[in-house]
Amino acid sequence: MKRAFDILASLTGLVLLSPVLAVAAILIKLTGRGPAIFRQERVGRHFRPFRIYKFRTMVVGAHEMGPGITAAGDPRVTAIGRILRKTKIDELPQLYNVLRGEMSLVGPRPELPKYVNLFRAEYEEVLAVRPGITDPASIAYRDESPLLAKTRDPEDQYLHVILPEKLRLAKEYVHRSSFLYDLRLILTTLASIAYPGKSLDRLFNSMSPHRYPIAAVAQSALLVAAHYLAFLIRFDGQIPDREFHLFLQTAPALLALQLLLFHPFRLYRGLWRYVSIQDLKSIAASLTLSSAAWWLLSGLVRPFAGYPRSVMILDWVLSLALLGGVRLLRRINRELGPPTPHTRSVLVISSGDAAERVLRGLLAGGQGKYRVVGLIDKEAKHTGDRIHNVPVLGGQENIEAIIGREDPDEILVTISTTPVADRKDIVRLCKKFGKPVRMIPDLPDILAGKELTSLALDIEPDDLLFREPIRTDLGAIRDTYGSRRILITGAGGSIGSEISRQVAACKPRLLVLFEKHEASLYMIDKELRSLYPALEIESVIGDITDEERVREIMKKTAPHVVFHAAAYKHVPMMERNPAEAFKTNVLGTRTVSALAGECKAEVFVLISTDKAVEPLSVMGRTKRIAELMLQELNGTKPTKYLTVRFGNVLESSGSVIPLFREQIEAGGPVTVTHPEVTRLFMTIPEAVQLILLAASIGKGGETFVLDMGKPIRILDLAKALIRLSGLSPGRDIEIVFTGLRPGERLFEKLVNDHEKVWKTSHPKLLMAVSEGSERRAREEILQHVALMESAIGADLAAKVCEPAKRLLAQARG
């Protein structure tokens, strides 16, 4: 069908346009030497070369004088050539190529062989169809020459910016190609050639400094015209002399009244290109007031007596139509502006008024950077309907099929109409297709005080795990904490606060929150008191290195279970402050664990880290020493001493996720230490669930390890977060590699080489059991803690680090 249409249309065009072709050829011959027709080799369907026919618009030998593309002001273009190019008459001889079967009316524009060879892989798909006279790229780049003229190297700009975008549009055409779509592109091409959009824009811009008086004159003329047309319609096109005399008498007074009542509604001030329903309401209100006032005047003033009431009604209707119509025409001119190249195809997931507002914003002016392929509504019953001429493709249950079929560059989801659970499902589904998702707020969200950037980055930690979240049934362990006294050190930190939340949900008898920083303690205290008003909470300001303060709180509260989460965890920071790391992570742990034993606590849980495994950093060494101290302490007191060791938790303070978020919100760059660096990750709730489980099943002396799945490349994490923010890594946000910092390594692990891994009742909770004897090394560590403590007193960092290195090497067995 397409080939038959091409033959019929090209033959008809050649016949009907033969006078235009003849005049163009004559003008070319009269204004310069050389042939009227320019022939050049191009690449056709399936890479078959052919000669394209065009009217010659450049001087003879132009191809030897410059590149194969033309920028605005190119001296090789002749005077008549500029006219032919502007009107696109120079392309008409290609109807002969269409007739011969080398081209089609609609299809990707044929390129020079040297350009095709540079993008041969992309052209494999594009040249599966015949090249054409017009296509989406031809419409988008109708004024390509001015774009090229703005760059220092036009050919480089064409090869690296414009041609790749043309190829993208060509591929879209190949996927969407149909007879109706071709007809639409032909009509759009003809409209873009015939419509004098640029001339009108120049006219409006020249009028801009005087737009208020011009608007007053234009509206006065339209009101008088409406008044006259009302009489003309009322009297069937033949106004009697008496009524025409009445028109002449009343026109100035009615016009003055109408213009006077324009002022309260500021109808002189409106920008017509942005006309909306609100403007039409103002026009209608103003005309209604003036008509009502005129009706009163016509009954009171003798010269106006006998004014036809039907003319009043017609005048109101016609005035509204003309005043609103001229504004709409100005807006239509703006909407018909040339489409912006470099557009991204987007799929919108929204419903109701929010969908209408989003689509109106995306489509405003016809020059946005987005091309909306369709809308997914909350309910499938609207499938096939259109909003702003954008089709509703289906309901949310059809998302997967629609994404696969439409293959959008990006998915936009309105937050106000999409529940959190649905948003998470959409993000996971889009991640499966490799599509970026942008969460966008509706106006009520912004008025409610929600920040646009934070809403755009409304990403759940689960979305960055590259695996399914771990689910733990806590019902069986509630008895461990229900009706018990629980003390949590570091209760205001990322881990400590989540332990506090989950323990509070178990309804303990007393919850003691021990924290050094008052601001974070205040926040968790406020949150828990709001959620659990009947729960007895004791919030304590204190430092774990202050033995007397810790003893005071332990004796006062007599906790059954102690979760020791207070620690310094930032690796580079501790490299610069080794003494403080040792005081808190080693001596602080020694103080809290010993006093828990003295006060006969039943369970003491140390929160450790994967950095303690064969540690290279100060932080890792101090945490490993704390682990070994706890093992040595176990069995000497009635308390069961346990260690829970795990890797990085998403969203914890000082972790990469908050840092990446800040960097993305600032526009980049995102900093990654090394392209191959990997880390083990869990969400904070996942880790805490397993910590509580470990405390409930531990017998004393165990080192529990959380199975965190496969290591995740930090580079992949950064890219995922950028994409989930609706941006493109490397294009919208740059990624910079800064190099490994002191104390860091490429990968982490959760067990030492001399440790075996045993299973527990939970598949994600394991035990690390030492094969070699650590007893002697642990005894030495305890003996040398005093030495290191004295070194801290002298602030000698080396004396803190060196004994730790040697002792930990011995402890590996």
- The CA distance from 430 to 439, in Å, is 12
Strand 510-515, strand 537-541: pairing = parallel
Strand 678-679, strand 37-43: pairing = unpaired
H-only helix segments in 505-598: 518-531, 547-557, 571-576, 578-582, 589-598
- The CA distance from 133 to 186, in Å, is 9
Short-list 505, 163, 178, 465, CA closest to 341: 163
Owner of token pair 């059954």:
560
Contact indicator for 95, 14 with CB cutoff of 8 Å: yes
Local structure of residue 372 (DSSP, 8 states): E
Strand partners, 485: 510
- The CA distance from 622 to 800, in Å, is 10
H-only helix segments in 666-713: 684-697
- The CA distance from 266 to 28, in Å, is 54
Q: SS3 of 387, please?
A: strand
CA distances from 440 to 399, 410, 418, 428, 728 (A): 18, 12, 11, 17, 17
Strand partners, 38: 54
In sequence order, the 6+-apart residues with CB closer than 8 A to the CB of 366 are 334, 335, 336, 337, 339
Contact indicator for 52, 39 with CB cutoff of 8 Å: yes
The residues annotated with a catalytic role in the active site are 611
Return the structure tokens found at 478.
């509630």
Short-list 508, 499, 515, CA closest to 686: 499
Q: SS3 of 606, please?
A: strand
* Per-position b or e across 208-222, b if 16+ CB within 10 A of its CB: eeeeeeebeebbeeb
Contact indicator for 268, 262 with CB cutoff of 8 Å: yes
User: Three-class SS string for 751-781?
Assistant: CCCCEEEEECCCCCEEEEEECCCCHHHHHHH
Cα three-residue angle 250-252-257, rounded to 5 degrees: 95
Return the structure tokens found at 725.
């923010």
Return the structure tokens found at 619.
């932080």
What are the backbone dihedrals phi and psi of residue 729, each rounded to the nearest 5 degrees, phi first?
-60, 135
**Strand boundaries in 591-656, DSSP class E:** 603-609, 640-646, 648-650
State the amino acid at position 598 in one-letter form: E
Cα three-residue angle 255-258-262, rounded to 5 degrees: 135
- The CA distance from 132 to 10, in Å, is 12
Short-list 695, 699, 809, 693, CA closest to 754: 809
What are the backbone dihedrals phi and psi of residue 643, each rounded to the nearest 5 degrees, phi first?
-125, 135
- The CA distance from 98 to 6, in Å, is 7
What's the distance, CA 332 to chain centroid?
30
What are the backbone dihedrals phi and psi of residue 522, each rounded to the nearest 5 degrees, phi first?
-60, -40
- The CA distance from 218 to 400, in Å, is 53
Segment holding 318, helix H or strand E: helix 309-335
Short-list 505, 607, 549, 582, CA closest to 798: 582
Contact indicator for 373, 345 with CB cutoff of 8 Å: yes
